Amino acid sequence: MTDITFINDASAGDIAAWLGDVLAAALDAREGEVAISVPGGSTPFPIMAELVKADLDWSRIAVWPGDDRLVAEDHAASNVGKIRALLEPVGARVVALAEGAQPPHFALVWLGMGADGHIASLFPNTDPQVDDPVAVRRLTPDPLPPEAPFDRITLSIPALLDSDAVMFVIRGEDKRAVFDAALAGTHDLPVARLLGAADLPVTCFT
């Protein structure tokens, strides 16, 4: 694992500004499309609502969900449906996850983390491997989260780490304790496995 930068007490606007700078630099550094991966759940969407105000060439940005619930895109639990509603109007290309898909190299992978140490939909019961040969997996969390009791589709750890950088947004003391324990190597939850295999810059907003 390489260096981790913590940015504490960051507002949605602060994080969106940072994201805008990262995307602008990535667009300047290469020709063609720039791909990023973003999380679902409640925390990211206020940040994305700020991010869409950034003056970027959105037509060159492809957005992949890190995971999704296996529901129709117009279902309230769909991550890709919400991402489309925010980012397609400004011109981004939003890509729905599908089994067998081959994700690109990402300029940035943005992750959240559950209190149980799961990342994307790599829950502890799914035993995610850092050398998983499959980039996109369908799986079933156990127990199913009561707020979203659905099967999932998710990027694997190698697909998430095929990136220039990784960022986390970790809200709450309980999650921060799990994250810090992962950094210290005191548990083997999915977040610890990813961080242990991460040979790239990691930024964590709290």
Whole-number pLDDT of residue 147: 82
**190 cis-preceded (ω within 30 degrees of 0):** no
The CB-side HSE value for 167 (13 A sphere, CA atoms) comes to 20
Give the tokens for residue 41: 């759940």
Q: Are 33 and 62 in contact (CB under 8 A)?
A: yes
Partners of residue 154 on adjacent β-strands: 67, 137
Partners of residue 68 on adjacent β-strands: 153
What are the residue ranges spanned by the domains of the chain? 4-205
pTM for the full model?
0.94
Cα angle, residue 51 at apex, residues 85 and 117 outer, rounded to 5°: 85
Q: How far apart are CA 105 and CA 67, in angstroms?
A: 16
- Which DSSP symbol is given to 13? H
Q: What are the residues whose beta carbons fall under 8 Å from the beta carbon of 94, sequence distance 6 or more?
A: 62, 63, 80, 83, 84, 87, 88
Q: What are the pLDDT tens digits along the chain (206 aa)?
A: 567 999 999 999 999 999 999 999 999 999 999 999 999 888 899 999 999 999 999 999 999 999 999 999 999 999 999 999 999 999 999 999 999 999 999 999 999 999 999 999 999 999 999 999 999 999 998 888 888 899 999 999 999 999 999 999 999 999 999 999 999 999 999 999 999 999 999 999 99
Q: Which CATH number is 4-205 given?
A: 3.40.50.1360
- Which DSSP symbol is given to 117? S
Q: How far apart are CA 154 and CA 142, in angstroms?
A: 15
